[in-house]
Amino acid sequence: MSLQRFDHTECVANAPVASERLYPFLPPNLKHPMTTSTTLANTIELIKTLVAFDTTSRESNLGLIEFVRDHLKGLGLATRLSYDAEKRKANLFATLGDQKTRGIVLCGHTDVVPVDGQAWDTDPFKAHIADGRIYGRGAVDMKGFIAASLAMLPAYMHSELKQPLHIGLTYDEEVGCIGVQTLIRDLAAANIHPAGCFVGEPTRMQVMTGHKGMRVTRCRVRGLEAHSSMVPEAVNAIEYAGRLIEKIRSMSVQLQTNGPFDPLFQTPHTTMQTGVIKGGTAPNIVAKDCEFIFDCRTLPQGNADELIKQVHEYAEVLKTEMRKISAQADIEFETISNSAPLSTDHEAPISYLGKALARNNLLGRVSFATDAGWLNHAGIPCVVIGPGDIAVAHKPNEFIEISQLEECLGFMDRLRERMTQEVLLA
């Protein structure tokens, strides 16, 4: 395929409307169980539908959420939405069964990362199928899992479940697991307490019991400008920011050298790094302002608060020095996002259930953050397991293999069967 740039301005306008059928191959009145081939066909059609909604984190996700809500309500499922402060984004939580009974959640985030500056071979917001793969932004991260969850609902509805099945869709996971925190508050207010949750991030259908936490912090340094020939009379904000950045780097080196360590992670220690910096106005002006953003990715047993405290303490030392020249000099910090780590015991019931359903006894950990961290923190036992490979997420020509969707559907069907036999995670 030749490289070609696409204009995506029509993607939202051309996205499917809520009146279109969510299940193009749904048996009439659910009189017969869904076949494997039919469920896979519905999953693929759903991926096409979901990818067509541009839910880049900076955009609203309401088109997708309302589309799913309307169809689930049409199938008789109880749904509830929880919104962000501007009412531009929402979580969806749907229940098959009595929502007051402790059920199992299939959870996925609806937002995707931008395609800006990426050279895609096909339109990223129009799913393209080739060579056993489905290409499109969000196909693997993580609209494939969401599509499979929705496609399996007719089979669950045809079954006599011993407990509820929940579908959870969140907003703004990609920018700091923000929406899930709103969802957790909404569930608590409604007295809904799920027994367990599978978060479907791409793990090639291997159960992951842990991931790192991530704290993203903005630092603003305010100095005193002057002509560059008068350096001793000024406070160079860039230079003081540089000293803070060097402090962060040295802390990261110490963590890399001294630990603590967790060999189950590819990068087996906590990391800190500065990713963005801007400041100054001209080469002949001592910089008055400088701003930088750094992140801290902590092991589950790590303590981000303690690390940030060390940075703050060093900033206080620098401020004392800066204010000998200018009383207005300052250093301020702002938390941009805070994603909780996940550490589920390998012997926990949710871990055993995940392994049994995956038919794979391997357990692992991932370095990226997910909604599972906050869900687990709120008392909902979680593991991460989903179709596809994280290595192709966030990249041009993102894809999910159809064979991985088949594995995911098998996992969900085995969950359905177990839910007809007993109450899980009671």
Q: What is the pLDDT of residues 321-365, one digit of tens each?
A: 999 999 999 999 999 999 999 999 999 999 999 999 999 999 999
Average pLDDT over residues 120-129: 98
Per-residue model confidence (pLDDT) at position 398: 98
Q: How many domains does the chain have?
A: 2
Average pLDDT over residues 130-140: 98
Answer whether residue 284 shows pLDDT above 90. yes
Mean pLDDT taken over the chain: 91
Instruction: Indicate if 224 and 111 belong to the same structural domain.
Output: no
Instruction: Indicate if 54 and 197 belong to the same structural domain.
Output: yes
Q: Please say which residue of 292, 321, 339 terminates a domain.
A: 339
Instruction: Indicate if 285 and 356 belong to the same structural domain.
Output: no
Using CA atoms, how far apart are residues 172 and 55, in angstroms rounded to an integer?
9
Using CA atoms, how far apart are residues 106 and 387, in angstroms rounded to an integer?
13
Instruction: Indicate if 120 and 205 belong to the same structural domain.
Output: yes
Instruction: Indicate if 206 and 217 belong to the same structural domain.
Output: no
Q: How confident is the model at residue 3 (pLDDT cuts 50, 70, 90)?
A: very low
Does a structural domain hold residue 1? no
Q: Please say which residue of 339, 373, 393 terminates a domain.
A: 339
Domain that holds residue 63: 28-211+341-421
Q: Please say which residue of 292, 312, 339 terminates a domain.
A: 339
Instruction: Indicate if 169 and 293 belong to the same structural domain.
Output: no
Stretch (H or E) spanning 377: helix 372-377
207 strand-pairing partners: 363
261: helix, coil or strand? Answer: strand
Structure tokens at 111: 């937002």
Instruction: Indicate if 332 and 345 belong to the same structural domain.
Output: no
Does a structural domain hold residue 153? yes
Is the pLDDT higher at 78 or at 208? 208
Instruction: Indicate if 276 and 195 belong to the same structural domain.
Output: no
Q: What is the CATH number of the domain that holds 305?
A: 3.30.70.360
Does a structural domain hold residue 348? yes
Residue 136 backbone class (left: φ over 0; alpha: ψ -120 to 50; beta: rest): left
Per-residue model confidence (pLDDT) at position 78: 82
Does a structural domain hold residue 12? no
- Could you give phi then psi for residue 190, rounded to 5 degrees? -90, 5
Structure tokens at 318: 């620098």
**pLDDT (tens digit per residue) in 286-314:** 999 999 999 999 999 999 999 999 999 99
Running DSSP on this structure, what letter comes out for residue 191?
T
Does a structural domain hold residue 18? no
Per-residue model confidence (pLDDT) at position 108: 98
Does a structural domain hold residue 17? no
Does a structural domain hold residue 375? yes
Average pLDDT over residues 355-380: 95
Per-residue model confidence (pLDDT) at position 16: 42
Q: Is the dihedral of CA 282, 283, 285, 289 positive or negative?
A: positive
Residue 134 backbone class (left: φ over 0; alpha: ψ -120 to 50; beta: rest): beta
Using CA atoms, how far apart are residues 401 and 388, in angstroms rounded to an integer?
6
Average pLDDT over residues 87-94: 97
Instruction: Indicate if 269 and 247 belong to the same structural domain.
Output: yes
Average pLDDT over residues 162-188: 97
- Could you give phi then psi for residue 274, rounded to 5 degrees? -100, 125
Instruction: Indicate if 218 and 307 belong to the same structural domain.
Output: yes
Whole-prediction pTM: 0.87
Instruction: Indicate if 46 and 154 belong to the same structural domain.
Output: yes
Instruction: Indicate if 54 and 178 belong to the same structural domain.
Output: yes
Q: What is the CATH number of the domain that holds 161?
A: 3.40.630.10
